[in-house]
A = this chain, B = another copy of it.
């Protein structure tokens, strides 16, 4: 569908982004990350076009060149990408599974129907891998957000002022073990561990809902009343399609972790996005939480 030659007017880019040869297509879901990514790409002089999913992407994306589409308007998606010369794509921001009962399919959507219905089964990772493969089959190149804007990723080491204690370190270790086991089953990307005890495990509800639950458990006295004990651990699933669905933390994550009485947050270094990095760090420092990126011991689980 897309057969443009590599854009020869592409601006000079850093080594990571140098393989992006034409205008960047950003398929945008929920949250602030699509805008943050668009800003980072603009700052590098990379032309871009956002294809925003209605009901998911925020209005703020209208600051950038954009096209709104509905889920399953596959023809409109391809037209928006091709009309703007976007062979290179980043898919960013959460999306809900399409509710296939109340949608109007366009022609390309109807042709893609067997594919779309195949998405309604299986875990998130399965779904996202299939979407990436589908787009690649159509000739697009799909990149990770970190390829375009490495600053979006949490690096190795602490992001704020605070460092984990020995007890926190022990909880972090248990947490990464748990998240890795969960990930192998395509379940979730996060867990909360306090004093060696797994308080909560994330599945479809998402990290913020899990942290709210931990705050409730603490208020009800069911998990002890220690404050500044326990960690939120977040990492991609082993073998996950990391170009598309990186775990994300942001200032809200920090606030919710603080409300749950946790000591801090540990994420897999270079494999977790930090939305609103400056605000996230400022919030962690103000609330006394640590925020660290860890090199995972079991990176060999990866693809």
- Residues of A near any B CB (own CB < 8 A): 96-97, 99, 101, 120-124, 177-178, 181-182, 184-188, 191-192, 195-205, 209, 213, 216-217, 221-225
Contacts and interface: CB of A to CB of B under 8 A. Distances in A.
Given A185-B198, A200-B204, 17 more contacts: A96-B221, A97-B222, A120-B224, A121-B195, A121-B197, A123-B196, A123-B197, A177-B185, A181-B182, A182-B182, A182-B201, A188-B198, A188-B201, A201-B203, A204-B222, A205-B213, A209-B213
Chain A facing B: main interface SS:
loop
Contacts of A99: 221, 224-225
Contacts of A185: 177-178, 181, 198
Contacts of A204: 197-200, 217, 222-223
Given A187-B178, A225-B99, A200 B203 contact: yes
A120, A181, A182, A198: most-surrounded residue (chain B CB, <10 A): A198
Contacts of A198: 123, 185-188, 203-204
Nearest to A213: B205
Contacts of A101: 225
Q: Could you say how many copies of this chain the assembly holds?
A: 2
A228 to B, nearest CB: 16
A209 B200 CA distance: 12
Contacts of A200: 203-205
A217 to B, nearest CB: 6
A280 to B, nearest CB: 24
A165 B186 CA distance: 23
A122 B122 CA distance: 33
Contacts of A216: 205
Contacts of A197: 121-124, 204
Contacts of A191: 203
A99, A122, A197: most-surrounded residue (chain B CB, <10 A): A197
Nearest to A204: B199
A181 B195 CA distance: 21
A196 B203 CA distance: 13
Contacts of A123: 196-198
A101 B204 CA distance: 36
A135 B200 CA distance: 30
